[in-house]
Structure 1
Amino acid sequence: MFKLLIAEDVKIVRETLVRAINWEGLGIHLLGGVENGQEVLDWLEHEEPDLLLTDIGMPKMNGLELIEAVRARNPDIRCIILSGLNEFEHARQAIKLQVLDYVQKPIDPREIESVFANAVEVLRKERAERQAVAFTEQTAKDKLPNLSESLPLAEWSGSLKKKKLVEQAIQYVKEAYMRKELALSDVSASVGLSDKYLNLLFKEVTGMTINHAIIRLRMEEAARLLKDPAIKIYEVCDWIGYVDQDHFRESFKKQYGMTPTEYRNKFL
């Protein structure tokens, strides 16, 4: 269930929204309906919704101001606007605030249900993506410690400060290796060193270059994903940060001695 909070200053409209829609049937738990933006912000102090349905024209704080304040607190709360003000300026501001949808008054329960059915689908996909990313990041963290831990502490050369910088670089690589645009310069910038100097430190400590570490992580994740026949090879390529499938195939073959297709066939 996704949690919804409604902000509408007109009592009859607010009560209609609360009572006339089968929220539970849409996979939504309705937290309640409040009269203005300040009540929404007060509510956030003890409970945060996944969705906010808000009127634009409200006292104390209009709907767009409320959305801006809500997103400042938690950008994951998705907002839907309800208003009879069919003005371009409001729509333009809503786009800037990344509003999920826009519903016109007078309210039509069928339209409300359609809009929120779509909203729930969007939230489900986002939740699944976040869970997949969290799982992948945890898998990477479980696999990558040998970049630093495979070497006995006594073999680490340089000062404690150098070791700390390399550890920070390793952590950054763990979190960002799936980004398509990831480059050595991004890693070095994350620790405030030049590309050349960080690469020297990284190799001194781990025995490999930063690019090698990124490629190895990507290939290990690709190998894991390839074991699932439901995931297309081009999807694996995209997921681990490769733009070109030929480049992905060459990198994978270099690491595992076989193409992604050949590797997958071993598990069919």
Structure 2
Amino acid sequence: MFKLLIAEDVRTVREALVHSVPWEKIGISLLGTAANGEEALALLDREVPDLLLTDIGMPRMNGLELIEAVKLRNPDISCIILSGLNEFEHARQAIKLQVLDYILKPIDPDDIERVMSKAVAEMRKQRAERHEVAVAEQTIKAALPNLSQTLSPENWSGGLKKKKLVEQAIQYIKESYCRKNLTLSDVAEVVGLSDKYLNLLVKEATGTTTNHLIIRFRMEEAARLLKDPANKIYEICDKIGYADQDHFRETFKKLYGLTPTEYRNRSL
């Protein structure tokens, strides 16, 4: 069951939310209700919910301010906005705060049940992914005991050993990107990590995925080779690990904004 906190300043709406939705049926237990953002934060100090359903227009602290404060305390809490303020500016702010969904008043129990069921499904997926990462971490710790400290969740942003693992992965990509059918799994196997965990580390360090790194190295090498007119385009395609020239051309254009031929002509 996922714990839900409701923040709504109108008492009749608050009571309707409590009694008109079959919370337990959709996998939610009601943690409590608050009449404004300050009350909601006070409840948060006692017990952390998995999900926050909040109105926008509340006194003392509105819903967007509440979500921002909640996210600062615990970014894993999923938030859904409930409001009659159907304005673009509020929706845009909600997107910036990574709100899970947006429900408009007047409330429709069926609509709320649908949105909340969708939220539960998404949170279950996220929980399963976090569990998978945790299992991967435990596997790594068992295989490499000296990494146990640097790979712990509290040190997720740092750690010399993690940095070395990413550098090892990138070095392998640099040495092997010309190999046809090089995959994330190949790189992960070399450094002794799961596919998912390697991708997390690489993205944390570089801002991009392992597969995108492979593509980038291939396209950079293609750009270098294209500057020499002696290199035929079909030969370059083969050298960087592409069997399909059309695929190579489309990928190159996405990165450089030009086809290989156009790029070559500009470089000469």
The bucket for the TM-score relative to the shorter chain is: 0.5 to 0.7
User: Which residue of the other structure, out of 217, 237, 247, is the alignment partner of 2:192?
Assistant: 217
Q: Does residue 1:169 correspond to 2:160, yes or no?
A: yes
Alignment of 1:83-232 (within 5 A): 83-145=83-145, 169-170=160-161, 172=162, 177=165, 182-183=166-167, 215-218=190-193, 221=194
Asked if the contact 2:5–2:31 (Cα under 8 Å) also holds between the matched residues in 1, the reply is: yes
- CA separation of 1:146 and 1:73: change in aligned 2, threshold 3 A: closer
Q: Give the SS at the match of 2:40.
A: helix
Q: Per-residue displacement from partner, 1:216-264 (whole Å, max 9, x unpaired)?
A: 313xx47xxxxxxxxxxxx9997997529x99xxxxxxxxxxxxxxxxx
Q: Give the SS at the match of 1:29.
A: strand
Q: Give the SS at the match of 1:75.
A: coil
Q: Which residue does 1:62 correspond to in 2? A: 62
Asked if the contact 2:26–2:120 (Cα under 8 Å) also holds between the matched residues in 1, the reply is: yes
Asked if the contact 1:173–1:214 (Cα under 8 Å) also holds between the matched residues in 2, the reply is: no
CA RMSD of aligned residues (A): 3.3
Gaps of 5+ in 2: 148-158, 171-186, 203-209, 216-268
Q: Which residue does 2:173 correspond to in 1? A: none
Q: What one-letter code is carried by the residue in structure 1 that aligns with 2:2?
A: F
Q: Which residue does 1:229 correspond to in 2? A: none
- CA separation of 1:96 and 1:237: change in aligned 2, threshold 3 A: closer
Q: Give the SS at the match of 2:30.
A: strand
Q: Which residue does 1:18 correspond to in 2? A: 18
Q: What TM-score comes out, normalization by structure 1 length?
A: 0.60
Q: What one-letter code is carried by the residue in structure 1 that aligns with 2:111?
A: E
Asked if the contact 2:33–2:40 (Cα under 8 Å) also holds between the matched residues in 1, the reply is: no
- CA separation of 1:243 and 1:213: change in aligned 2, threshold 3 A: closer
Q: Which residue does 1:243 correspond to in 2? A: 211
Q: Which residue does 2:77 correspond to in 1? A: 77
Identity %: 59
Q: What one-letter code is carried by the residue in structure 1 that aligns with 2:30?
A: L
Asked if the contact 1:101–1:115 (Cα under 8 Å) also holds between the matched residues in 2, the reply is: yes
Alignment of 1:8-47 (within 5 A): 8-47=8-47
Asked if the contact 2:83–2:103 (Cα under 8 Å) also holds between the matched residues in 1, the reply is: yes
Q: Per-residue displacement from partner, 1:105-140 (whole Å, max 9, x unpaired)?
A: 000000000000000000000000000001101101
Distance in 2 (CA, whole Å) between partners of 1:84 and 1:2 is 26
Q: What TM-score comes out, normalization by structure 2 length?
A: 0.60
Distance in 1 (CA, whole Å) between partners of 2:211 and 2:128 is 23
- CA separation of 1:53 and 1:240: change in aligned 2, threshold 3 A: closer
Asked if the contact 1:6–1:54 (Cα under 8 Å) also holds between the matched residues in 2, the reply is: yes
Distance in 2 (CA, whole Å) between partners of 1:240 and 1:48 is 28
Q: Per-residue displacement from partner, 1:32-86 (whole Å, max 9, x unpaired)?
A: 2110000111011110100000000000011000000010000000100000011
- CA separation of 1:31 and 1:146: change in aligned 2, threshold 3 A: closer
Q: Give the SS at the match of 1:45.
A: helix
Q: Offset of 1:184 from its aligned partner? A: 5.6
Worse overlay, 235-244 or 42-51 = 235-244
Residue correspondences, number:
181
- CA separation of 1:173 and 1:85: change in aligned 2, threshold 3 A: same
